[in-house]
Chain A
């Protein structure tokens, strides 16, 4: 017994030491990886541009403007009463990505969309009066022929989802903050 214990003590101490050292070394290495990974995330100056404020005053009824937000176009359309009526009259159950118009706007007159086709990322046409707007009077993506309605919902073509509505809020009647 006595012989055994003298033999066993250093071995177990060595094992403990070995395990402790391995644990500390691996932890240190793992923690050291984080700053390098995080450096690939958006930098502070990029993040500072992740919210924008847009003045709505110059937009007349029936007009649309495009603003740049996080490197992507955002469509802001001041819809006509007819466009609102068409958008509201659709039965969401008939849609590929069922959503009522009310779910997609804060104030019915203002439609705010990330202007990126949900198929493969092209920018749909329909912002300018002369643009092609597709069969549903909203937007039309020339890349692969997706048709969006006056609520920005997918109605025909390969795109799987409605155009996204970014997080935004009205700071006043004529000023919104996106992001």
Chain B
């Protein structure tokens, strides 16, 4: 008897001073939500969940990241290699950005379909668009931080958009850069802004939710709530439904994190930024591709930039462009068709954005851009005038009682399919640009759900690296201590390390000196600096091999195929001096001479040392160098997905049970 009273007394004490408990109860428990919300309404809370995931993972990354042009790239790789679970946190954050955009895009399209921008929800819609714009700015600046090639050149291109502004354009760009190109001051301020903006977004999300709770949720029928019989309390009905949604989402998210962590990214961003060389084909992250396509569709700098920004800003005008009194597309036959054509148009724009700006892609992009604006400026106003909407139901509870749960389940399946298609097509569009030669696809031991490295193969590959590759290529992101992964004992690693000469210093007289390597040393570079490396290699810089399989389209298949891709040039081809003919290398003229020959490396374990085997083993070793976390990643992924599957089944069962008295 006394315990509940005491508890109540504590609650009252707090409530009298700060009514936070009743506020939370009012907005997260009692909040009356329409009882007919389908699974498309899960994406708002999912996006909120994702925002928290991004802030938390970002904070932990920031504790290890160094915002300096000379150190940023390596500090990110240190997170990937040395920080405990750093690879996990970075892959959560990196793929989380893509997931966040998928969720928000679906959330926005849901609003478009069900007319959630119409009175009385105009402010709610606008605040949501502000969140979207802040998100885009934050994502763009986040992509700059790893300071890879795409970071630098993406930043250069996007900041240069502002140079299109008449008269003051160049001044604005110089101000953004803090210099005369994207450089250290730019990286520094982008880090600060990328750190700060998510908290601004968090605040604006509160306003978004505040506005939502004032005007209440829209619903699939788009008709107003008539009374309490049309609503159910948010908790437990929608909390458990959201929980189930989060479970399903986390499974999809985990598959990306643990098995396809770089699928949605671009290999060039694993090449350190180089202000002297632009990658041949630069594309933004997939979630910007439709807007990028609009930018490129207009053959005028200023107009292109205006079109791109208008494509976003026009969403603010929706409450005036679409004057139909009926909200939901369910009762608007013409609007419904226009909506789906518009969705296809956006997907086409996204695909065009990933393609090179040449040939057929230019007119396709222009037509799609034209249609994008036609939809908003002509179709929507006209349709809302001429369309005869279907009869609206009397109330929400009427069709809910009639149709039962079937439509809910159907929309759930649709929602999932759309999410999956968006994710995969985003990646495919990004990958599609690499129209490379046919690659060999050997059976790698690490492919597949449970894939692991073959230690014996890695040791053979290391031998090849040491005896052949290391004459010209460094591997600065790996240390001798890491060779324990290959099955070497601690003492063996010490001996290997001691067999290398490391330049250290300065000593007490200020001179550099040579000493034997220690396990904590990284693999020494064969040349003292890039200039010396170029001078010794006919002007071409042999790239560091730490990340080579991650930094090329095709990954390990590419490296393997390249090593075996040397041929006598066809008679029609005239090679420049000092170049070799390689069928896999872009342009076919490569500076690296053919290196792999039968019998050039003696394998002590009896493996035949033909060139195919040598190429395969050294590629495996380089794959390990690029993704040392892979085995841990696969093993953890299996456990995580099994757990999530089990949890999601439970969430679903509980959801069914709780909702059984509504249907």
Contact = CB atoms under 8 A, between A and B. Distances in A.
A129 B85 CA distance: 47
Contact of B650 (A14, A21, A40, A41): A21
Contacts of A13: 657
Nearest to A40: B63
A10 B654 CA distance: 12
Contacts of B653: 17, 21
A24 interface: yes
A46 B82 CA distance: 8
Interface in A128-149: none
A44 B651 CA distance: 38
Given A14-B657, A39-B89, A40-B63, A20 B650 contact: yes
Given A28-B647, A36-B56, A39-B60, A17 B657 contact: yes
Nearest to A25: B647
B243 interface: yes
Interface residues on A, range: 20 to 34
Best-buried of A18, A20, A36, A40 by chain B (most CB within 10 Å): A36
B225 to A, nearest CB: 28
Nearest to B651: A21
Interface string A27-56: 010000001101111011110110000000
A43 B56 CA distance: 19
Nearest to A34: B85
A17 to B, nearest CB: 5
A168 to B, nearest CB: 17
A18 B78 contact: no
Name B's interface SS: helix
B481 A48 contact: yes
Contacts of A18: 654
Best-buried of B64, B85, B651 by chain A (most CB within 10 Å): B85
Contacts of B261: none
Contact of B520 (A21, A28, A40, A49): A49
B483 to A, nearest CB: 12
A43 B651 contact: no
A39 B86 CA distance: 6
Contacts of B60: 36, 39-40
B643 interface: yes
B83 A39 contact: yes
Interface string B291-319: 00000000000000000000000000000
A24 B520 contact: no
B416 interface: no
Nearest to B652: A21
Contacts of A48: 479, 481, 519-520
B139 to A, nearest CB: 22
A45 B78 contact: yes
Nearest to B519: A48
Nearest to B250: A28
B654 A17 contact: yes
A35 B53 CA distance: 14
Interface of B: 56-57, 60, 63-64, 78, 81-86, 88-89, 243, 479, 481, 519-520, 643-644, 646-647, 650-651, 653-654, 657-658
Interface of A: 10, 13-14, 17-18, 20-21, 24-25, 28, 35-36, 38-41, 43-46, 48-49
